[in-house]
Structure 1
Amino acid sequence: TLEKHVKQISKQDWDDPVIVDREDEIGKLGHTIEDMRQKLIQKDETERTLLQNISHDLKTPVMVIRGYTQSIKDGIYPKGDLENTIEVIEGEAEKLEKKIKDLLYLTKLDYLLRQERQYGTFDIQEVIKEVVERLRWSKKELNWKIDLEEETMLTGDQEQWSKLLENVLENQIRYAESYIEISVRSTKKHTLITIKNDGPHIEEEMLSSLYEPFNKGKKGEFGIGLSIVKRILTLHHADMTIRNDQTGVCYSISVPRN
């Protein structure tokens, strides 16, 4: 019976549950196969949902680009003139490019999770300064409060941490109303990075599922950025908590020190 189930599972035919009414070694094997079957079903459903979300997320900017391009061919400018209409096309093309890059990066991180990694050391303070300087001009009215130590060395992949901070700060910038606050503190065992903003609270029911690909908040903007963050944290044995506080939303990142 177990052999039959395993052969079915190998052919991706996993509709029939594995029922073994015994508690010896064969029974334990049956329970393990049933556990595997359920996880494979869950993985299959997740992949199907992910593909549907990818298709939907990429389809929208493509439709806009094609629609505006056809309008220009017909001599019609949806945004009043040629320049403004082309600006919309360029904006949608940028969105499309970012989505594709994020998807490729997420795939790269999934591959790295299964490989041995050789890390170097770098100063996380310098990475934070570089990312902030690059992103702060996207919303000039924000006040940045940055409280860093003189030097904080981490062991890891500097490029991945730059990507992590970029994704976190893009969310912070999107929702912040007047300021973003960043601080770094070190203990004997951990480096603690805290990033806060004074934007609206995240819905409580969403806090536990923010890292899922294509999970979207009120503005529909989460995309897969926080899924990338989660992968990078896992690669570095670090973790992050997201919580609402009195003034807004706080991201707390804890990185083990070697």
Structure 2
Amino acid sequence: MKVKGFKFKSLTIRIWATFTLIILIIICSISIIYLSVFRTIKEKDTMQDLKVAHSILLNANNFYGPENRFDELKNLKRSSNVIITIDSDNNVNVRNINKIGRPLDQQPVQGFPPELRVSEDSLGRWMAGFIKNDIVYQQQFKKSYNGKSVFFIVSSIKSTDTSDKIYLISYIPLSNIEDNSLLYMVIAIGIMFIVFGFIAAKIVAGYIAKPLKKLEDYSLRIAHKDWKEPIEIKNEDEIGRLAKAMNIMRTELKRADEEEKMFLQSISHDLKTPVMVIMSHAEAIIDGMYIDSVEKTADIIKNEAIALEKKIKQLLYLNTLDYVLENNSKASEINLYQLILYISNRFEIVNNKIKWDLDIKDAFIIGNAEKIQVAIENILENSLRYAEKKISVKLNVENSNVILEIYNDGPNIDEKHINNIFDNLYKDKTGNFGLGLAISKKIIDFYDGEIKAVNRDKGVSFIIKAPIS
């Protein structure tokens, strides 16, 4: 979290800031609701109660009877009732029903700040100025006087004793500090929560930070390839699941590190051997100590150089394959029937003692033709290396998948190693190191296919399953 370029590095401060922000949002929301809804509802209730009180007084036979207690009701606090008399010369006389005989010009009106010195006499005369008709009945007004809203109801009173116009006015100031008591209470509680929130944030942050600190130290250990012990966090929450994920990562990184070391050892041995043979025979030619003839020795050097070149190309191809597949692999529709026919015709001349049995049908997939050809060639080359008398290729469409099976009648693969033959580091029983099957699997996996090896009664089948186009 950043505030004006300042970054909160402390988890305690971040939790407290978040907590405070939530409290402030709640306070603002309640304030808006209070101002827009609660006050409106309260004003309606107050006006309705004042209207009922006004009706009761209006229907009473004696206005100046026992003192009424309307101002003791919750919604009618600070309310009052006055009689306005207007004579023929428009002189206004104000009398309070409950304050007969008291000088109203010296009586402050409740609901107005004392410093304003608002008297009931001046307020009554002000309200009388809104009476436009001689006869009115419960005419309602909501006006502002000295910055305060006043709600008042006016009704004319019939009198047979005088020609003066007489009116009953019931009024109540609507604006007062007590009206905001709920708002102030919410703000006060919010401030208390903000203060205590810091303590709560400190406790929560400490609870969260302790396992996170362990995870931080554990990450540094992994970064330095310290695989000795897994981290132990007993939480079942997100932090616990993170710890389990990091332990899984540790296992995978440890395995990858071991495989990398084995890979370097294996490939260095496989590259050293042909280089050593080439150097030995080259020195023999130079020293005149070669066996048989120069041509025979040169032929050996050539074959070893070809084998070395092949291994280097496979290494470079495998190393860049992921990038090539992701960025430079243009996919198109491939006719596997034609592709397999083309590849098998090329491979048949390699060993004329092997019988080829093709049972292939038209089938189409989406992919890069060059990469798919490499994948199939590697499998056929592997099968040709171990086949004794026969290689068969079957191509069918089942449901929405293409099934390609390449079989050779060579020796079975040890069951404990059959799932590892597609790994980069796999060596066969003769100790030979190869990357062809690993390349094939990576290509087939990229195009959402599957490949597996299955031992038969005699021989091995490589089965490729890929979605049709």
Structure 2 residue 453 is matched with structure 1 residue 242: yes
Q: For structure 1, which segment, 135-144 or 89-98, has the greater mean C-alpha deviation from structure 2 after superposition?
A: 135-144
Counterpart CA distance in 2 for 1:255 and 1:231 is 13
CA shift for structure 1 position 48: 1.4
Q: Secondary structure at the match of 1:141?
A: coil
Q: Secondary structure at the match of 1:240?
A: strand
TM-score, normalisation: structure 1? 0.91
CA contact (8 A) 2:363 2:468 kept: no
**Which residue identity lines up with residue 449 of structure 2 in the other structure?**
A
RMSD of the TM alignment (CA)? 2.0
Counterpart CA distance in 2 for 1:216 and 1:14 is 26
Counterpart CA distance in 1 for 2:293 and 2:254 is 52
**2:368 aligned partner:** 157
**1:56 aligned partner:** 269
CA contact (8 A) 2:278 2:304 kept: yes
Select the structure of larger CA radius of gyration.
Answer: 2
Choose which of 237, 242, 252 in structure 2 pairs with 1:39.
Answer: 252
Structure 2 residue 410 is matched with structure 1 residue 199: yes
**Which residue identity lines up with residue 139 of structure 1 in the other structure?**
N
**2:379 aligned partner:** 168
**2:347 aligned partner:** 135
Counterpart CA distance in 2 for 1:94 and 1:202 is 28
Q: For structure 1, which segment, 38-47 or 4-13, has the greater mean C-alpha deviation from structure 2 after superposition?
A: 4-13
Counterpart CA distance in 2 for 1:77 and 1:145 is 44
**2:426 aligned partner:** 215
CA contact (8 A) 2:270 2:433 kept: no
CA shift for structure 1 position 29: 2.4
CA shift for structure 1 position 16: 4.6
Counterpart CA distance in 2 for 1:165 and 1:28 is 41
Counterpart CA distance in 2 for 1:153 and 1:22 is 51
Residue deviations 1:88-144 (CA, integer Å, cap 9, x gap): 111100110110111111112233466696411111112112211222221111111
- Cα distance, 1:87–1:208 mapped onto 2, change above 3 Å: same
Structure 2 residue 331 is matched with structure 1 residue 119: yes
CA contact (8 A) 2:357 2:392 kept: yes
Q: Mark the runs of 5 or more structure 1 residues left unpaired by the alignment.
A: none
Q: Percent of pairs identical after alignment? A: 36
Structure 2 residue 311 is matched with structure 1 residue 99: yes
CA contact (8 A) 1:188 1:257 kept: no
Structure 2 residue 438 is matched with structure 1 residue 227: yes
**2:222 aligned partner:** 9
Q: Mark the runs of 5 or more structure 2 residues left unpaired by the alignment.
A: 1-213
Q: Secondary structure at the match of 1:208?
A: coil
Q: For structure 1, which segment, 43-52 or 12-21, has the greater mean C-alpha deviation from structure 2 after superposition?
A: 12-21
**Which residue identity lines up with residue 174 of structure 1 in the other structure?**
R
**Which residue identity lines up with residue 282 of structure 2 in the other structure?**
T
CA shift for structure 1 position 191: 0.7
